[in-house]
Amino acid sequence: MRLLLAEDNKNLSGWLAKALRQSGYAVDCMYDGGDADHVLLTQQYDAVILDLNLPTMGGLEVLRRLRRRGSPIPVLILTARAEIDDRVQGLNVGADDYLPKPFDLAELEARLKALIRRAQGSACPQLTLDPLEYETVGRLFRLHGKPLVLRPREHAVLEVLMLRAGKVVSKDMLYEKIFNLDAETNPDAVEIYIHRVRKKLAGSGVTVVTMRGLGYVLETERT
């Protein structure tokens, strides 16, 4: 999952981005509203965490421009403005949820997961590709009923594939989902994480199949 975090407080932004990356998200940080608006024009995200008090272009204007372009990306407003009028204005402009500062990290992640789940149409709390299970609420994988231990980018790769199980996912899409803008790598790096995920699934009956020239698909092994 790839997130845009638009927050001008660099200390808060750095702390929050680190926490979200440890949870398996790829996070791009923008500290200016104009920059946030620009990357929303050029990049694909699963959700946006947006502060209202941004320099150059305020968060509400960033949100207005995003919705005028017809983008359905879920947006969670994160701001020190706790007054009801500001909250209502943000929701009316097109925000999906609102969390005033100070906030609890666990609550922010829970709200974020719910927004992404709804946006992707995954109302089912659990996805199964026997014997692999994925709890969409807690973002937890189980294999043969036991927790599957994955590093953040391994988790991100398997999550993208699991949400599209049986369908081909291109290398470029996986790259966009697991790496942020600052990553000093290229789409070929995806193959490293595909290899690692295959090793974690080895012998389970579930595997990642390479569709040459197209991408990858998560499916049960053919016997």
CA 194 to CA 186: how far, in whole Å?
14
CA 66 to CA 26: how far, in whole Å?
20
- Cα angle for residues 219, 112, 207 (degrees, 5° grid): 10
- For the domain made up of 2-119, the CATH class stated in words is alpha beta
CATH number corresponding to 126-220: 1.10.10.10
What pLDDT is attached to residue 184? 78
* pLDDT tens figures, 69-108: 999 999 999 877 656 677 778 888 899 998 888 889 999 9
Region of poorest pLDDT, from 59-63, 78-82, 130-134, 149-153: 78-82
At which residue do the structure tokens 């790829």 appear? Answer: 26
* Parts of the chain belonging to CATH 3.40.50.2300: 2-119
What pLDDT is attached to residue 80? 76
* pLDDT tens figures, 4-15: 999 999 999 999
* pLDDT tens figures, 167-219: 999 999 899 888 888 777 888 899 999 999 999 999 999 999 999 989 999 99
* Parts of the chain belonging to CATH 1.10.10.10: 126-220
What pLDDT is attached to residue 138? 77
CA 17 to CA 188: how far, in whole Å?
24
* pLDDT tens figures, 110-119: 899 889 888 8
